[in-house]
Amino acid sequence: MTAILSGMRVVEASAFVAAPLGGMTLAQLGADVIRIDAIGGGLDYRRWPVTKDNVSMFWAGLNKSKRSVAINFRSPEGSELAKQIITAPGKDSGMLLTNFPPKGWLSYDELSAIRPDLIQLTVQGDRHGGSAVDYTVNPSIGLPFLTGPSDSNSPTNHVLPAWDLVTGQMAALGLLAAERHRFRTGEGQHSKIALADAAMAVMGHLGFIAEAQLGEERPRYGNYLFGAFGRDFLTADGERVMVIGLTKRQWTSLCEATESAEKMDALAKQLGRNFSKEGDRFESRDEISAVFSAFIAARPYAEIETIFNQKGVCWSRYQTVKQMLDTNPDCSLDNPMFSQINQAGIGSYMAAGAPWDFSAFAREPAKPAPRLGEQTDEVLADVVGLSRAEIGRLHDAGVIAGPEAV
């Protein structure tokens, strides 16, 4: 099956989230992404969650559709092999994605001396090359003081590594942008993206920085949607739902569904506000919530679900990951994004492919992550051009390793 990035080859040396996610994004779009792994596994090879046999579901999840070469790159011969893989000829190759320091066998100066049109994208913690992870960047930009109950004075972290995810996609985009430049000019380059910069850029795009710079210190609002109307409510049988009235249509549907249109008109008149304006809805959020709460709290979840769906309300139910898996058809093989894969060491389970649906290409099914070193011999033969005898000698010398038994 041909995919939109078929023919492109990217070498990846990475750990944890941002860079592996960027590489997997390219791989699931059809690029040949070759991981250069340490023999025995790198920093994140056993990252939780793990199976009872200590096989990482995290590592498997972020390395689907790639190939793996296991090299002792601390040895001179191993580091030279890594350089040969990275700088191998071909107009659609010569691209490196990494979040390791650009030195030694990952030095752009050394690599570009071998292949001048090399494209290297390095993911950094901060713009100075310092160490940072999502869970240190997020506290530094203020969001933990905007997250959590409105009556709390303590910072609240969230579990989603949002800045890793954003940076990973930006890394993939940056690599493709540099490849387009090379296609047009023949020039390679070293591009860097810092996790902290990606986070601060998004904070700026969403208005947080301008708001603070102009003198407004935004408080916590709990589960309220900032700037419009949205909040969670309990049903009569204890289920919790989130409802949104951001756009005019959403607000109208919510009022109709809860039989509250006339009450809202009267409330707006009483408060001297215009609920067709989202800001006025936000300013009146507590009074509005009292009206909706009375309706929702008087009815069981099944009735609320039926009414909201019939009226086109923008809403959702709070549920666990297991509940989502058990009840949501979009999180099942009915969704063409998902495929059943057999992952070595883990077993058979449902995995996501790329979420894009291109009209000119069929969806690529999800493919398992490689076993560590699974394609070592294959890559050294096909990409570097080594003979079977040379590959055998490197195995005997402990410079390379084949697939681990799992």
Q: Shortest CA distance to 34 belongs to which of 82, 101, 104, 89?
A: 82
pLDDT at 284 exceeding the cut of 60:
yes
Q: Mean of the pLDDT values across residues 19-25?
A: 98
Q: In the structure, what pLDDT confidence band is assigned to residue 404 with cuts at 50, 70 and 90? A: confident
Q: Report the percentage of the chain scoring pLDDT > 90.
A: 98
* Residue 50 falls in which region: left (phi positive, over 0), alpha (psi -120 to 50) or beta: beta
Q: What angle do CA 293, 297, 301 make, to 5 degrees?
A: 120
Cis omega (within 30 of 0) on the bond before 219?
no
How confident is the model over 337-392, as pLDDT tens digits?
Answer: 999 999 999 999 999 999 999 999 999 999 999 999 999 999 999 999 999 999 99
Residue 194 phi/psi, 5-degree rounding, is -100, 135
How confident is the model over 250-279, as pLDDT tens digits?
Answer: 999 999 999 999 999 999 999 999 999 999
Q: Shortest CA distance to 66 belongs to which of 105, 8, 124, 1?
A: 8
Mean pLDDT, the chain, integer: 97
Spatial contact of 93 and 7, defined as CB atoms under 8 Å apart: no
Question: Active-site residue numbers?
Answer: 164
How confident is the model over 311-322, as pLDDT tens digits?
Answer: 999 999 999 999
Residues 6+ apart with CB under 8 A from 240: 232, 233, 234, 317, 318
CA distances for 256 relative to 249, 264, 286, 401, angstroms? 11, 10, 19, 65
Three-state secondary structure along 4-63? CCCCCEEEEECCCCHHHHHHHHHHHCCCEEEEEEECCCCCCCCCCCECCCCCEHHHHHHC
Structure tokens at 99: 């979040």
- Structural domains of the chain, ranges and CATH numbers in brackets: 9-203+341-401 (3.40.50.10540), 240-317 (no CATH)
Q: Shortest CA distance to 33 belongs to which of 24, 41, 45?
A: 24
pLDDT at 352: 98
Q: Mean of the pLDDT values across residues 227-248?
A: 98
pLDDT at 406 exceeding the cut of 70:
no
pLDDT at 1 exceeding the cut of 90:
no
pLDDT at 381: 98
pLDDT at 116: 98
pLDDT at 235 exceeding the cut of 60:
yes
